[in-house]
Structure 1
Amino acid sequence: MPESVSSPGRRTTHKGDRPLVIHDRLRLSTAVIGLTAIAFTGFIAATPAQAEPEIKDVQARVDRLYHQAEQAQERYHDAQLQLDDLTEDLGTLESDERRQDARLDVVRDQVRESVLRQYQGEGISTVGQVVVSEDPGAFLGQLSTMSAFNDLQSDLFSSYSTELDALDLRHEATTERSSEIADVTAQLSDEKKEVDAKLAEAKTLLSELKDEERTRLLALSRGGSTTRLPSDVPASGRAAAAVGYAMAQVGDSYVYGAAGPSAFDCSGLTMMAWAQAGVGLPHSSSAQYGSGPHIAASDLQPGDLVFYYSPISHVGMYIGNGLIVHAANPGTGVAVSGLYSMPYVGAVRPG
């Protein structure tokens, strides 16, 4: 049978006028089918393996957003404490300024009487200006231009100058506090917006999951951060009241800024727990870190407060046996976890 070349690199065999490429086509079809089968088998095998990392990735992102929101919330608490102090200080300064203004009025009246006695019967316009002037600075300036200034009682003039300086200082302090209050109020607004934004982003991530995936994610979250409740916590004294309250809240919801009765954030839970023992704590994890003596991890006792992250943005309560009770995050709520389940910073013993 004669051979011919139908195209470069391909040999064909003629039978009549039709080229036969049966063997080439058969080999090509077999190869394609084999590759398709391998690819399909690989896809089937890879799909389940890829689902697990995706869920874990979403969990990590949600947990990170929860923590960022908690950091903003704790900064909000710090700013609120600062605002409370500034507002109280402003009230004191305003009262002091009013008292100083009253003292200045008394001295001004005394100076006026002295001027009138000295210039009684004389029609000096400057005297009239001094008598009717209500502006403290103008009063002092007009007084100093009088031709017979040196004849005035020097102690009265000195008293008036001193009281006026004191009033100016108080007014400046009041103005400064008012400005600081405005700045802190703006910070509060910014922190609240960040809390809301991070929480909304976390909810959006969760909403994009299918129902079964969301259920699985929440189960992973709870399974990774909670521990079986201890049957007994060996606490005594005031610490027993604090621990008892905190343990009674296990299972309650986590809500940013909440301090009971059925929802808490981390510092809200510890604040309310120790309030049952008659100990007042600020609603701030970083402020609670400065509320008592620092305790080494090896000396921890039930009721001690334990702190996490740098800067500090989370607090829980030690309950013994290497465990803590804390308001964890919106996905977990109030739970029992391991002492070192988060980056540990230190501990404080309240009371």
Structure 2
Amino acid sequence: MRKRLITALSGLALATAIGLVPSTSAQAEPDIDTVQARVDRLYHEAEQASERYNDAKIELDALQRDLESLRADQERQDADLGAVREQVKDTMLRQFEGQGISAVGEVFVSDDPSAFLSQLSTMSSYTSYQDALLDDYATEVQALDIRRTATATRLEQVEKTEERLAAEKATIEAKHSEAESLLDRLKEEERTQILSRGSTTVPSVVPASGRAAAAVAYAMAQVGDAYVYGAAGPSAWDCSGLTMVAWAQAGVALPHSSSAQYSSGARVSSSDLQPGDLVFYYSPISHVGMYIGNGLIVHAANPSSGTRVAELYSMPYVGAVRPG
């Protein structure tokens, strides 16, 4: 009897203990600060890819211009080679006229310039004029080969750059999508709280002067516009697209790349900043804004925030330049 009682009490204790243990472990939702940090990191990684994309586009444009020039040069060289070839053919035909033309005919059936040159070199009894023509032909063949090689090399570089562009675009889209998914999981008030962080009251007057005044006025007029990777207006921007078009209003041409813009003017210390100066962030540089005075910048921030005013040191500061 005592043994059965102990067994029953043990079973009751075990059942009670099991009832107190939850069947599945509760997974705590990440707090706003954690989500904020993850979203900021994803947007920054997407922007890094976007700026690399911009750099690759600049490189691709230069390569394509060079390729067009090389192709045109190759076509001119091909025409020059054809003209010399015709002169050699005419001279050889005249020399062998009446002596049977079968050997010469075999020479002319080949369309390969190197083969044609090799066959001609086996023939003898050239006049000094014919020797000069042959030398000209050899020179033109070599020049054409050089141009063909250069064209093929540049074409390969174009193809590799286009592959880089596609890869960077895929990275941008993946990081952006992941950040948006994180934000979509938050409640509306939490999302609003995250997106409102870092916002600053827009100053009514910016004390800019000279050419910088036109650049600052244009940039400030875009506050509230959307942020789109790779965009340069008129109603959506990325960081370097905004500063590029803003300074274009002052007659200053800038590349569509934050890292390239860092080399577009004289370096300025943080203590000497003036409205219109370009300020750069992160290492390697992947973001640019425009200083507007009083420790503030205007910049195309990210897809959630758009174009806004922020504090100068709201991101890891690298340096500044003064365009123009």
The interval holding the TM-score normalised by the smaller chain is 0.7 to 0.9
Instruction: Pick the aligned partner of 1:253 from 223, 226, 231.
Output: 226
Partner residue, 1:114: 91
1:148 Cα deviation from its structure 2 partner: 3.1
User: What CA distance in whole angstroms lies between the structure 1 residues aligned with 2:65 and 2:236?
Assistant: 29
Partner residue, 1:209: 186
User: What CA distance in whole angstroms lies between the structure 1 residues aligned with 2:194 and 2:258?
Assistant: 28
Partner residue, 2:248: 275
1:197 aligns with 2:170: no
User: What CA distance in whole angstroms lies between the structure 1 residues aligned with 2:128 and 2:111?
Assistant: 23
1:62 aligns with 2:46: no
1:149 Cα deviation from its structure 2 partner: 5.2
Would you say the 8 A contact 1:143–1:149 is kept in 2? no
- Deviations 1:229-277 (CA, angstroms, capped at 9, x unpaired): 2232111111100000111111222111111222211011101111111
User: What CA distance in whole angstroms lies between the structure 2 residues aligned with 1:154 and 1:299?
Assistant: 71
Aligned residue type for 2:306: G
1:123 aligns with 2:96: no
Q: Any stretches of 5+ residues in structure 2 without a counterpart?
A: 4-16, 21-27
Partner residue, 2:145: 168
User: What CA distance in whole angstroms lies between the structure 2 residues aligned with 1:150 and 1:267?
Assistant: 66
Partner residue, 1:186: 163
Aligned residue type for 1:236: S
Instruction: Pick the aligned partner of 2:307 from 334, 340, 348.
Output: 334
Partner residue, 2:14: none
1:104 aligns with 2:81: yes
1:280 Cα deviation from its structure 2 partner: 1.7
Pairwise mapping of residues 294-333 of structure 1 onto structure 2 (< 5 A)? 294-333=267-306
Partner residue, 1:265: 238
Distance 1:180 1:278, change over 3 A: same
Equivalenced residues, count: 303
TM-score by length of 1: 0.81
1:102 Cα deviation from its structure 2 partner: 0.8
1:211 Cα deviation from its structure 2 partner: 2.5
Aligned residue type for 2:125: A
User: What CA distance in whole angstroms lies between the structure 2 residues aligned with 1:298 and 1:114?
Assistant: 78
Q: Secondary structure at the match of 2:160?
A: helix
If asked which structure has higher relative contact order (CA below 8 Å, sep 6+), I would say 2
Aligned residue type for 1:259: A
Tell me the C-alpha RMSD between the 2 structures.
2.2
1:171 Cα deviation from its structure 2 partner: 0.5
1:188 Cα deviation from its structure 2 partner: 0.6
Partner residue, 1:137: 114
Partner residue, 2:9: none
User: What CA distance in whole angstroms lies between the structure 1 residues aligned with 2:107 and 2:224?
Assistant: 74
TM-score by length of 2: 0.88
1:74 aligns with 2:79: no
User: What CA distance in whole angstroms lies between the structure 1 residues aligned with 2:188 and 2:291?
Assistant: 35
* % same residue: 64
Q: Any stretches of 5+ residues in structure 1 without a counterpart?
A: 1-5, 8-31, 37-49
- Deviations 1:266-313 (CA, angstroms, capped at 9, x unpaired): 011101111111222111111111222222222221111111111111
Q: Secondary structure at the match of 1:153?
A: helix
Q: Secondary structure at the match of 2:265?
A: coil
User: What CA distance in whole angstroms lies between the structure 1 residues aligned with 2:90 and 2:144?
Assistant: 22
User: What CA distance in whole angstroms lies between the structure 1 residues aligned with 2:83 and 2:320?
Assistant: 56
Which structure is larger by alpha-carbon Rg, 1 or 2? Answer: 1
Structure 1, 315-324 or 118-127: larger mean CA deviation: 118-127
Would you say the 8 A contact 2:93–2:101 is kept in 1? no
Instruction: Pick the aligned partner of 1:146 from 116, 123, 129.
Output: 123
Distance 1:336 1:289, change over 3 A: same
Would you say the 8 A contact 2:243–2:289 is kept in 1? yes
Q: Secondary structure at the match of 1:328?
A: strand
- Deviations 1:103-154 (CA, angstroms, capped at 9, x unpaired): 1111111111221222221115331123444321221111011143576622
- Deviations 1:84-103 (CA, angstroms, capped at 9, x unpaired): 00110000000000001111
